[in-house]
Chains A and B, each alone.
Chain A
Amino acid sequence: MTQAFSPRSLDEALALIQGAKEPVTLIAGGTDWMVGRSQDDASPRTLVSLLRIPELRGIRVTPDGIELGSLVSFTELRQHDGLAAEYPVLSEMAASIGGWQIQNRATLGGNVVNASPAGDSLPIWLALRAELSLASPTGLRTLTYEDFHRAYRRTALNPGEILVSIRVTRRTPGQVCRFRKVGTRAAQAISKVVVASSLIKTDGVLRNVTLAAGSVAPIPLRLRATEGLLEGQVPTVLLAERAAASAEGEISPIDDVRSTASYRRFALRNLIRRIVLESVSA
């Protein structure tokens, strides 16, 4: 039998999970979990909705950084004027997810914990070196997003833990971020390839380059070899070509219902090439 609860605080939720006798499923927006859920499934389960927990909500911009509650929806991300100015890629990413109905309901935390290799927000957390705050009955711990997403649909979330927030640093002057998603159409499309990047051009050379790609490997990846190739270099057309080739060598795409490995390589090369080319004249 399924028992369902909607705890009203983080402590209440943590206690509920700890004390549950049946396997626990945490649900926020449920926009992935509910897909294909059999209505006749009577397996014993404790369902815990996170939606009523205020500690998981809100967007806080301070001089020290930006904290995004795990329950922040993609619509809230789009509507936040401060974020739109600081990191336009967050709005671009949010607008690329599903449709309005999904954006209203799906959450940043859900996208992270669901850990799909194609999650559209995930490359951004890699590119911005985001940190996650996780709560358990023993307290809070911090983990980089990169360390959190371990393997295909597997994360470092411990049993009994709840993702509380995602933190990124304030944008540095001159920091240029990009988000590009390739899908069958502009909305309601799971990505064939999704890329996020961050870099600064100082004294004519590229610094602090991060490049991240999704849908091209079992997990979203930092393209570290390609980052290393670009670091400290003057961006040129030739460098862009070399970066594109290098990026292709770092991924392990597959053929699936959405695309082919060959197309994914092709599209990723183009996306990486464009990111470097855009910085040539910047």
Chain B
Amino acid sequence: MTRELEFQVNGESVSFGGSPLKRLLDVLRQDLHLIGTKEGCGEGECGSCSVLLDGQPVCSCLIPIFQVEGASVTTVEGLAPRGEPSPLQKAFVQEGGVQCGACTPGILVSAQALLSSGEELSRVLVRDRLCGNLCRCTGYVRVVDAVIAASQMDAPHGRMS
């Protein structure tokens, strides 16, 4: 019998009793019905599956669920209070940083972690922190524009609450 693993997702306690090797990505999508996190490659190379694990962006396709026990996960759904886009999300709309949207959840997760880190932003730094998120549509320019714009918005400057 497999014991129940307990962890936090978007601020709520959850428990999972299935295979300890099940990917965090699959637990999020299938068991918790949080389908914002996408599978692009399943190999940790595209970043579509990015989530925050204890505040750090990671590829959820590479994490077996038993290693998530006791940890705190934030998905794209958790980046903003229900119904109210975050400054980062508003910036992406404003700057045109979204086309097909497949990469967008992963990019928002990485970008939010960068904004929350308090590091002083430059386009070079933004590109470095987004280097694990591939986008086939935008050419990244407006994505970077959006992250910079979000950092310049009024408080809470895209910080996670």
Partner-B contacts on A (CB < 8 A): 2-4, 6, 27, 29-31, 34-37, 39, 41, 47, 49, 51, 75, 95, 98-102, 104-105, 186-188
**7 interchain pairs (CB within 8 A)?**
A4-B66, A35-B42, A98-B44, A99-B132, A100-B110, A101-B57, A104-B57
Q: Is B62 an interface residue (CB 8 A)?
A: yes
Which residues of the partner chain A approach B21 to less than 8 Å between Cβ atoms? 2, 4, 37, 39, 41, 47
State whether A100 and B44 are in contact (beta carbons under 8 Å apart), knowing that A4-B66, A6-B67, A51-B67 are contacts in the complex: no
Q: Is B74 an interface residue (CB 8 A)?
A: no
Partner-A contacts on B (CB < 8 A): 19-23, 26, 42-45, 47, 50, 53, 56-59, 61-64, 66-67, 69, 110, 128-134
State whether A100 and B129 are in contact (beta carbons under 8 Å apart), knowing that A2-B20, A35-B43, A36-B43 are contacts in the complex: yes
Query: Which residue of A has the minimal Cβ distance to B106?
Result: A101
Beta-carbon contact of B132 and A39 below 8 Å: no
Beta-carbon contact of B131 and A31 below 8 Å: no
Which residues of the partner chain B approach A51 to less than 8 Å between Cβ atoms? 67
Which residues of the partner chain B approach A188 to less than 8 Å between Cβ atoms? 45, 131-132, 134
State whether A34 and B132 are in contact (beta carbons under 8 Å apart), knowing that A51-B67, A101-B44 are contacts in the complex: no
Which residues of the partner chain A approach B57 to less than 8 Å between Cβ atoms? 100-101, 104
Q: In the bound complex, what is the Cα–Cα distance between A95 and B132 (angstroms)? A: 11
Beta-carbon contact of A102 and B44 below 8 Å: yes
Supply 13 further A-B pairs (C-beta < 8 A) apart from A95-B128, A101-B58.
Answer: A3-B20, A6-B67, A29-B62, A30-B67, A34-B64, A39-B19, A51-B67, A98-B45, A99-B131, A100-B131, A102-B132, A105-B62, A186-B131
